[in-house]
Structure 1
Amino acid sequence: MPKILIVDDIEDNRYLLKRRLKRFGFDNCVEADNGFKAIELVRDEVIDLVFLDLMMPGMDGFEVLTELRNLQLLDNLPVIMISAADDLENVAKGIELGAEDYLSKPFNPTILKARTDAALEKRARALDKIQTAQNSDIYTGLPNASGMMADSKNWDSYQSVKALQVQFVKYTDIYNSFGVDGATKYLCAQINKLTEFLNDSGLCQAPALYRMTYDSVAITMPNVSDEAVFEISEHIIRTLSGQFTSDTISVLEEVRVAATVTDEVVAASELNRQLASAMSGTSLHQPFAVYQDDAQSVVLERIYLEADLRRAIDQRELEVYFQPQVAVATGAVVSAEALVRWPHPERGMISPGQFIPIAEQAGLISDLGMLVTSLTLEALQNLDTLQKAVPISINIASEHFLESTFEQEITRLLSSYPSHLTALIKLELTESTFLDDKALVNRVMSSLKNQGMKISLDDFGTGYSSLSYLFQLPIDQLKIDKSFVDALELDNRAQSILSHIIALAHDLDFEVVVEGVETQEQLNWVSASGADLIQGYFYYKPLPYKDFIDVL
């Protein structure tokens, strides 16, 4: 629906014109009662047509036209002047300043509709030309890299999109010798051969060609087999390489082909990165290369992900999911664990197992931890408003907890929220946190507990699993790891050990959570062992915030 701006200092005039436009189906109308506001609206919003009164106090229509032109806002924006019937001199002046047309008062409905339709149609044609120019190569007529990005929005319906990049090595020599016209004729001739083959071969359906660089084209092929990709590549190298002769050009071409054979749909930018990586592996004696996850690619991938992760943390683009914890006694959801998730704008959901090690290696784990804590507190405050607040556990990395600034940072963050929410926060720490400086750990934990927070010992049953920690540290909750639960099915003694650990924890007044429960048999064993809370896929996977609300 086009947006129309009506500029007139008289309210009745604006109302009359707006009412008539709505009768013609143009419901999206905005108004300005002076020229200054009109310029602001054109600058800040997408306006498709302006009706502009020429005679206004403060800033008249001519000044508005002049300012729009100076700001380069008048390009492809039609302006229809509103004037008196005998004011042709001013109409002519307005057209010189860039106005599209004029309407005389009082408005003739037929003429109003005709001129509105004509102006909007002209606007649409201009925008189409701009879009085409932005997404197309002016020499070959092929879509360019921007065109591929635009087309990639429709790739979701495919199971996979594989691609080739074809480089014409002698293009630069031809350009230097015969200029842009000769190089373009050569490239178009090669593209025509390529297009005819792709259309006639039957090896791929709906292939699309793009001019990606000055000397190369890319081909995307949806839902095609690896074998077809290799066969197409072989044919391209065989038929487009060798002697090329036209009226003025004679050259011995050496075509090179890079391929990506991913079995999924990836973003256009990622597809191009893979093609560029593969193309770097081609040579005169090895004209074909396939993108592979070799050591170099792994390093590059990590570099890209680290940069994206830094931006995602800074822009708060990560999300917190919540895995409910169920009370053994009642079967009700009484608490949850906050788990970070990264919905990458191009790569989709990236696994924590992939980005958390990158955060650790890049020194981002503290920033990540504070972001997760902040997002969790925001969610907890919203739950409190809905009267659904429950205790939430937050994982804190050992290197983050042991930083000298941790206590100060977490205290400052918590101070922004009501004190009763602090009592609903559990900080989950692993055993490795306690190995280096027990005195520091004890002091910080005690300080946090004095502020109302709870402390949970996470992953008990892995690593060192020293029972001495249960006596030495001011913890409130013991969390038994999934690996211990899995052992229940392999060793009959595991259930007895589990029962004794839980009994000891209860003697020390600790709450016990058993995580990783996935089967009915595991549930029966854990329930019989006397655990307080159960967390695992048997009940719930980690849920986005909206779904978590529904289970409370």
Structure 2
Amino acid sequence: MAVDDDPITTLIIEDSLAHRFHVDIVSSGEQALQIFEQLSPDLILLDVLMQGMDGFEVCTALRSHSKGQTLPVVMLTSQDDIDSIEHAYEVGATDFIAKPINTALIAHRLCYLLRAHATLKALGRQERQLAAAQRIAKLGHWEFDPAQGRFQCAEAARELLNLPHQPQGFSLHQVLAQVHPRERAQVEQRLLSLDLAQRPPVQFEHRLCSGTRVLRQNVEYSSEVGGWLGTVQDVTTMHRSAQRIIKLAYYDQVTGLPNRDFFLEYLQRRLDQGGGAEICVLVVEIDALKRVGIGWGQAVTEPLVRDLSRRLMADMDIVALEAPLPSPQAWSLEQPQLLARISDAAFALLSTAHSQACHRLTQRLLTALSQPLAVAGIDLPITAKVGLSDALDCDEDANILLHHALAAAATACLIADKVQTYHRDLDNGERSRLTLEARLRRAINQQELELWYQPKIDGCNGKLIGAEGLVRWRDPNEGLIPPGHFIPLAEETGLIVPLTNRVLDLVCADLRLMHAPGLSPVKISVNISAAQLDDERLPEGIAQRLSSAGLSPQDLELEITERALMARLDSVLGTLTALHTLGIRLSLDDFGTGYSSLGYLGRFPIDELKIDQSFVRDLGTDAAGETVVRAIVALARGLGLYVIAEGIETLEQATWLCNNGCERHQGYLYSRPLERDAFLQLLDKRAPPPPWSALRCPSALCN
């Protein structure tokens, strides 16, 4: 667009440019402003001296318009009018062309200006794209002059550093004031140590004052500016993602403690650094957590685990970790102790204490865990086992060292103080245990189990009133294996459930034999495992077995230990009720050895209390024990329950029990457990009286 009120000048312009440009001629400044937005010219030729608005006013108005701020505006003025030329630049002219116009050069001049404008537009577009990319990447750049100690920051860098707009730049003090106080001295040292003689790039990170944002600084020397160029990037999101990965990979989600992977990686670092002789590992296994997990589930277990971890941390003077959580590689090798949760029911402690100090440490751990757990209204005692291993026995391998501690903890229950130090024989014991487990699994599947029966006697008249079925394992190679060798193993490994199912199959098959003609059948009781009580299908399964054998539910009695019942107060009520509704009698075994079951007896459909042999053993010699037995008998009578005593070995014990209202007896005084065929002979109506019939108490004592 050419703006000039001289028609000769406009004719010359149009004639000189028409072969390369589309030219619009405008004769006044007012008209130019009116049609400027409509025409959207790429360049304006603007005469200085015109009627009405002169060129200076028009240029000023154009520059105030959003579309005219960067538009090339070329002023036409006389060659010797220096004042006009200066004024033209002041109001925003891009260039000037002197009159008279050189028609041979004007087209080339304008092409150059348009190319320069296009380059400027491209540069501006790139700068905007760069600024947008930096905003997306949360990235900015700055310059630092070490001699003057001043920063010049781009807008993005200034915003990231929370600095105000300040064209003259910022002092080192102003920049450091935005750094988190705990990291300020370190950042200052890094910046002040930048030396022109040491020019490799430097990278470091720091938090801002708020502590919620993390910035990464990359600094390198630039010979062009004679100082240091830096980029600053907000890596808070990256850090949060990294923290989440570290937390998920290396920390227990319930307690916040390091997990097994963290423990092993850090332990290996310590061993690789040498000084392994000063390292010992303690593993604490807490059986109560397993039992609570089975009985109540994760919702109840998690608060208990947190409570136990707090106890251990308080006793070990271990402070809970705060963000940012370190990885095993970042954890200081100077830490004397590390506590980790390595499984659902086990904690591990790495200590640099010497051997004797580690033994004292185990006693502190057991003391810290001595208080019972409050679970669903009961106080559940904690049974903790501690296994100890020394780095001298691990060949500098973290997995082996932890394995040694776990192996020691697994056998700690066999000694009085629940603490076991690893020795090489334990590995042999564990291998034997695994072998026995495999053999027991085979024994269950290949029907190597059988039931032996211990009679239950009416102590007043010596009559056989029932029997307890006791499982026995007859190994084809070793013969009979004592129950004490395989029942605890079955409970620990979960084989107790298939083993109990096999016992139920055996007792139903044997009961069918006991109903043969010529025999006097009696009620048979078997123990039901604690784990089996959690299965709601148990009553249906037993009913099907009885029905298939042609038996009545009244032929079977189930004995449940008090400990199994108390660990599952609410979860097993439905199962017990369903069993009782079927007509199966329920006996509470080992009564009196548990926790506080007296308050719960009325809630459960129990038919019989079984006095534990530990109370029977001291009858006649221990007044306190006798008082307990009298109380149990009185309680049973008050609740309308039967009562039976087990473990009777002497006539004096039997007499005392009869005299105090407990006529149902079981023990070696009458008979040891008998093989099935031997027990069937007792049921034969033609058989002679059993040998214990002469031992019955005087009838006067039973009235």
- TM category (shorter chain) comes to 0.3 to 0.5
Q: TM-score, normalised by structure 2?
A: 0.36
Q: TM-score, normalised by structure 1?
A: 0.45
